[in-house]
Amino acid sequence: MKIKQADFVKSAVYEKDYPEQLKNMELAFVGRSNVGKSSLINSITGRKKLAKTSKTPGRTQLINFFSVNKEFYIVDLPGYGFAKVPKEMKVEWGKTMDRYIASSRNKLVFVLLDIRRIPSQEDIDMLVYLDHHDIPFKIIFTKMDKVSNNEKFKLLKDIKKKVEFHNDDVLFHSSLTDKGKDDILAFIESLITTEEKKEEEI
């Protein structure tokens, strides 16, 4: 897939303020506050400053919608975990994210996990929540430039003690080198093509 256009559309907290859904499934990105979510979005869209990145975890406080090729939205959800903010604010961010995930919008959720970290309870809770509600999701392991190939397989083995998956069913990415970008774009393209075929058959 070639991304020719990617633009910020709007930020929202409540469902009534979400933009009208485009014809294709939208792709939401979620993960711990320091997992590299904004950097990944910027990498796959080829727009370095599309999603705001920060050295301070927890920069994304609202749901941010980005239009891609005027065909689908990329949705940047609030991060969870390390953000040094008051507990009350974290609760509100959680509600903001829950409202979107529980909405009836046609979506797939990319769950980002740091390859170097054993998934936290919040990561596990997110995966269980999506699975329980039959919301399609795909795991992307980030920070791949931080580990060697040998370390990668050792780390995956440790992570599998917490999360069940097959190596062929997950994606890998480095925002520093853009490694894995083409695989993610190919997956998105196959997803949209499948959706369009379903529409034609209806």
Model pLDDT for residues 80-118, shown as the tens digit of each residue: 765 555 566 666 667 888 889 989 999 999 999 999 999
What is residue 58's predicted lDDT score, i.e. its pLDDT?
46
Average pLDDT (139-159) is 95
What is residue 34's predicted lDDT score, i.e. its pLDDT?
85
Side-chain-side CA neighbours of 7 within 13 Å: the count stands at 6
What is residue 57's predicted lDDT score, i.e. its pLDDT?
47
What is residue 61's predicted lDDT score, i.e. its pLDDT?
74
What is residue 39's predicted lDDT score, i.e. its pLDDT?
92
Q: pLDDT-based confidence at 53, cuts 50/70/90? A: low
Among the listed ranges 55-64, 111-120, 121-130, which one has the minimum average pLDDT value?
Answer: 55-64
Q: Which tokens belong to 189?
A: 């393209």
Global confidence as pTM: 0.89
